[in-house]
Amino acid sequence: MAEEVKLLGRRLSPFSTRVAIALNLKEVSYEFVKVEIFGQKSEILLECNPVYKKIPVLIHHGKPICESMIILQYIDDVWARNPSILPSHPYYRAIARFWVTYIDNNLLITIWGMMMAASKEAAKEAAGRAAEILQTLEEAFKQCSQGKDFFGGDAIGYLDIALGSFLGPLKAGEKLSNVEIFDEKTVPLLVGWAERFSKLDAVKEVLADAEEYIEMVQSMNDGVPTV
């Protein structure tokens, strides 16, 4: 009997993108359910995530799992076939979780600042913070990849998916702020990683590009969010 798997989310939600990539990696067939997160939120979202009322939510055989990185761990446990998402060794698992926490606590807010800045000065300040974060992640890549193509080594994993989900917003932030921070001069390892990551079959069909995020920002400025 086919498994019942649904993903509640939005295309331009990086956190929904994380789950979609993980499901694609594991070759799990699923139904993507677009839910309303602005104004009157979708009833199914309120039922499945009554605590935070946020996306994404994975529904597996009628049971909801919330929070993107928790969902990734669930996917890795339930569909244990290769490729693995989390490192097998406890130490490297801990390191991957550490850097994901760093990314989620620091990168998104700075990207958002670049995208929504009210002035050139504010955009430049946000871009400066983002550049510092990327420099730190450049060093993290050097350590975690051990000279291979991805944070996870030869194949993408937990940390790759977490950071990769922000590539579209990051590039949109550069264009909207008119400040380039993601370039070969400053973060060459991350630039090469991003190119490889974006070309993967599991990624390219669900990873939105910068122009889609720019349209989202413009629609939000007009009072009609489309995320």
What is the β-pairing status of strands 5-9 and 31-34? parallel
Single pTM value for the model:
0.94
Per-residue model confidence (pLDDT) at position 221: 76
Q: Which of 61, 78, 90 is nearest to 23 (CA)?
A: 78
- All residue ranges of the chain with pLDDT < 70 are 1-2, 222-227
Residue 156 has a pLDDT of 97
- Determine the Cα–Cα distance for residues 142 and 145; give it in Å rounded to an integer: 6
Asked if residues 225 and 219 have their Cβ atoms less than 8 Å apart, the reply is yes
Question: Can you list the domains of the chain with their CATH numbers?
Answer: 5-78 (3.40.30.10), 90-221 (1.20.1050.10)
Bridge partner list, 60: 5, 63
Whole-number Å distance between alpha carbons of 107 and 181: 13
> What pLDDT sits at residue 223?
56
Handedness of CA 65, 69, 72, 74 (dihedral sign): negative
- pLDDT at residue 94, rounded to an integer: 97
Q: Which tens digit of pLDDT belongs to each residue from 143-152?
A: 999 999 999 9
Cβ partners under 8 Å of residue 215, min gap 6: 226
| Bond preceding residue 83 cis, omega within 30 of 0 | yes
Cβ neighbours of residue 29 closer than 8 Å, sequence gap 6 or more: 2, 3, 5
Do the bridges between strand 63-66 and strand 31-34 make them parallel or antiparallel, or are there none, so unpaired? unpaired
The predicted structure's pLDDT at residue 1: 38
Identify the pLDDT of residue 151: 97
CB 56 within 8 A of CB 13: yes
